Structure 1
């Protein structure tokens, strides 16, 4: 079993479908795609899979009936959008795989299912040109998948669109600012014919207002950036919603200590805030870099902009901004007091990263 994990709009469904199409010949009984997004109740997961397979089972024991039906089959079952019914999806996957050795499962979710024998593939954003390459040629820009997607989608709405040498840096900047998020890039590309590339780039700061016209045939949660993030946000427990909103005061990366100092309060004690942060990382709403001595966390700019709107709506924005400023003032005061007493390398390691992470706020 493989689960494709990633944030809203990153392209999990598209990649899952492409993978299934690529490997369909390897399965004697084909591929079965099951969209779990419409399900409001986890108890209907088994029935949805049975319906997609064309299997009639006794209603009181659908999972066992499915397992029995699939026991001698060679088939790939794709479970799309598992995050809101994740326990039921994981349980069913384990039961099927445990009794039907010819069945493989491919799931898409914003967090791992944590099922037995699950292998997790975290889907990264599409590679975009780096900020250090402002003078890219068209050929150089087209080497990046994000630019390739933009050009492909722009060509659908703008007849004979080709990436010119003059437009290449502009498109590269658009893809970079949209952080390689496939849905955002597709939505932006559809506006190339009505706005032009220069105006489109200039308006991206208000991306949620701008990128609100998706494909009519797309699933509702895939039509706009707001819809994609609403889908994630609405299924969060209240504590995790609160933590996500509060984390939006950090414009850049932040440490666990900084996060708990700023976001924890009377309603959310420190240990609960730490647990919620870990859950948000698992759910692809916060990214974590644990390669250094001190773990660093950050929100994608698109996620942060969404969470910042929610923070403003909650009435907590002013208090959180004040807490953010006070925390960093205290950090600088403590660093200054220890300047003479600690070795330079140790001081830099402790305070250097922490004090620069949110300097862009």
Structure 2
């Protein structure tokens, strides 16, 4: 997972780049040249053969350039994307743009970047060259402060493009005088070999005895970084001299004795061939089969997709370990889990081998079947204590889910499976950055699977919710009408329950509360009869809001409390947070602003831990209304500014809760009258300038960000509430005890702990405790230093 960068002076998020797993060697001249080119041109493309280090150079330059781009430095990794039609959507996801509108992703991108001073790194463009060129050209024309740093084996071919062919790493001049060993060891190619060799063979160093062999290896590999790294791993089993001998044999065979210098792509291919040949037959099989994964995978996926036909499932773990040791697979930690990633060059090689063996279609189907089951399992576990973990896992698997869907839709005989996967992923689409993409998958599946089946009926009501969130109620109504017709024809009670529920939402959106209540009551009855807690909780929440809207306070509270009971019986958190939001609205209407604020804050805490912008937006709205009722008009205006930013990102104000808009309008009018137009606009602007995280801290804790930390202070990556929870973890308190201490739900505390572990890159509570202790010691040391140096 990429690391979030933060401007330490403001606490504002400035982008997301992956952390460097291994050291960055050399490239001082190239890095300086790329920076110079970026200062003069808005598009710089780094070209070169696979494995030459284009990505590493781009990321190093981007990281160094953060201060020049106050609105962020962002990486869009394109190696795992095969469909050019999804390019703009993938870039919006990379920029973490929360937009749930029905607008084309390209329009969303342009609106987001138009007034921002941003650096966008487009990595691995060569297989999407035309699409990347069109996207980049339009973005640069529409967003005048945007700069793009691209990596590709071929230039994009845009008029304003400047290019740098990334050279291989430097070696000593073969025709010059012999360098002393110490100076020789500082050459970039030799330094890289030495550092990677030490990872395989601790204590390795370049000496007078082995320097000729080291130089021979680096020359034989043409100074290609990937080649040097793959070769250095072999020192676990070979001496430097043996390694050079094996390379000589490999390349002499390739050129049939020719003394000509090998083309670099041939050199790398020969080295990968050699790495492949040095693997056992079963390691080779796993290498080829893992190539069907996009992005990363975990051990469970490898066991399910890659086993069989010569690979016993029980051997997969050992084989994965061997491929990690050989640098074929890269190990990555994501919280408490470990995932594996293959470099694009090695993945493409593996796919060639898989195709040559006639196994590609079989393994892609195994991959599809695994992720089809994963989506179904996630849907089944949706309403329960594992909810947050499932949401997180699906985000990590998004590239693989996309690959599975593409496999289904490429074959008309498989499209029904794809429609089922897309429907199962409903909550993945609405709790992440993928709502528009989810709707496209469902639209495409419905277009090619017209048969009136139960699966189509479920996909129709699923897609209707996405349409409602996007305020496309006409499309939602048409889909719900067809879904209900299929449900009645096939006597499908769950379909009828959800069709009634979402039809109620459409009616409420259109202002027909009476019709909405009738439909919601039908949904409650049907879901209660079928024992579906998800549909029941959703229907109860909406019915509570509807009764609140018409002024039936007693019924609204009773329905909200029933929904809480359903959620608590299953240990569920997300629907519970929405229930508290709904109760907060009614309690506020009754005049109990203190209790209403407490309900909204607890709901906001959970929605924030889940990173659900829709829930966050509604919570912020209600907190603004509460502040206005309490006559804290400056706070109300700032919160209206914060929520304005959220709704702009989501793409629709009060998305899915349009009947609440009149409360927003009344609040805005009242606050504007109380403050006066000038002061009101200034306070709203102050709120809208806060970053997403800053806005949530203000909403929860009524604290605005400090302008600048004092000299010597080290800003914490944690929010105030997260720091508070980290302190309690360090004291040894359990999640249950933390929740009791802070008077929040245990699920909310667990969500915060997940965020703490993710932000700090930790996997255990013990690491958090050590970090807290170190922060305390640092703060004491800083305080003593300032005291000692004070005048």
Q: Per the shorter chain, which TM-score range? A: 0.5 to 0.7
Equivalence for 2:677 = none
2:52, 2:188 → 1: CA distance?
A: 13
Equivalence for 2:137 = 94
Contact 2:328 2:342 in 1 (8 A): no
Task: Provide, for residues 20-54 of structure 1, a one-character-per-residue CA deviation record: whole Å limited to 9, x for no partner.
Answer: 11111211122111111111111111000001112
1:225, 1:133 → 2: CA distance?
A: 39
Q: 2:198 aligns with which of 155, 168, 182?
A: 155
Task: Provide, for residues 279-334 of structure 1, a one-character-per-residue CA deviation record: whole Å limited to 9, x for no partner.
Answer: xxxxxxxxxxxxxxxxxxxxxxxxxxxxxxxxxxxxxxxxxxxxxxxxxxxxxxxx
In structure 2, do the counterparts of structure 1 residues 209 and 86 end up closer, same or farther at CA, with 3 Å as the change threshold? closer
Task: Provide, for residues 101-142 of structure 1, a one-character-per-residue CA deviation record: whole Å limited to 9, x for no partner.
Answer: 221101000000012311111101111234446965422322
The alignment status of 1:201 with 2:244, answered yes or no, reads yes
The alignment status of 1:63 with 2:106, answered yes or no, reads yes
Secondary structure at the residue paired with 2:79? coil
Q: 1:192 aligns with which of 216, 235, 242?
A: 235
In structure 2, do the counterparts of structure 1 residues 48 and 153 end up closer, same or farther at CA, with 3 Å as the change threshold? same
Return the TM-score normalized by structure 1: 0.59
Equivalence for 1:214 = 327
Secondary structure at the residue paired with 1:25? helix
Equivalence for 1:19 = 61
1:183, 1:103 → 2: CA distance?
A: 31
Unaligned runs of 5+ in 1: 235-361
2:230, 2:245 → 1: CA distance?
A: 15
Contact 2:50 2:153 in 1 (8 A): yes
Residue 162 of structure 1: CA displacement?
1.4
Residue 174 of structure 1: CA displacement?
0.5
Contact 1:3 1:113 in 2 (8 A): yes
1:87, 1:168 → 2: CA distance?
A: 45
Q: Spell out the pairing of 1:166-177 with structure 2 (5 A cutoff).
A: 166-177=209-220
How many residue pairs are counted as aligned between the two chains?
Answer: 232
Residue 191 of structure 1: CA displacement?
1.3
Task: Provide, for residues 217-248 of structure 1, a one-character-per-residue CA deviation record: whole Å limited to 9, x for no partner.
Answer: 275245649839969xx9xxxxxxxxxxxxxx
Equivalence for 2:734 = none
Residue 163 of structure 1: CA displacement?
1.1
In structure 2, do the counterparts of structure 1 residues 121 and 58 end up closer, same or farther at CA, with 3 Å as the change threshold? farther
1:36, 1:225 → 2: CA distance?
A: 14
Residue 61 of structure 1: CA displacement?
2.1
Return the TM-score normalized by structure 2: 0.28
Contact 1:222 1:228 in 2 (8 A): no
2:219, 2:236 → 1: CA distance?
A: 20
2:346, 2:181 → 1: CA distance?
A: 28
In structure 2, do the counterparts of structure 1 residues 209 and 111 end up closer, same or farther at CA, with 3 Å as the change threshold? closer
Secondary structure at the residue paired with 1:79? strand
1:14, 1:61 → 2: CA distance?
A: 32
Equivalence for 1:72 = 115
Contact 2:88 2:135 in 1 (8 A): yes
1:221, 1:47 → 2: CA distance?
A: 23
Residue 194 of structure 1: CA displacement?
1.6
Secondary structure at the residue paired with 2:330? coil
2:350, 2:140 → 1: CA distance?
A: 30
Contact 2:75 2:94 in 1 (8 A): yes
The alignment status of 1:110 with 2:164, answered yes or no, reads no
Contact 2:79 2:344 in 1 (8 A): no
In structure 2, do the counterparts of structure 1 residues 230 and 107 end up closer, same or farther at CA, with 3 Å as the change threshold? farther
Equivalence for 2:163 = 120
Choose 1 or 2 for highest CA Rg. Answer: 2
1:220, 1:167 → 2: CA distance?
A: 31
1:139, 1:225 → 2: CA distance?
A: 37
Equivalence for 2:6 = none
Equivalence for 1:50 = 92
Contact 1:214 1:223 in 2 (8 A): no
Contact 2:50 2:345 in 1 (8 A): no
Bigger mean CA deviation after superposition, 211-220 or 76-85: 211-220
Unaligned runs of 5+ in 2: 1-42, 251-270, 277-325, 332-340, 357-791
In structure 2, do the counterparts of structure 1 residues 117 and 59 end up closer, same or farther at CA, with 3 Å as the change threshold? farther
Residue 83 of structure 1: CA displacement?
0.4
Backbone CA RMSD of aligned residues: 2.6
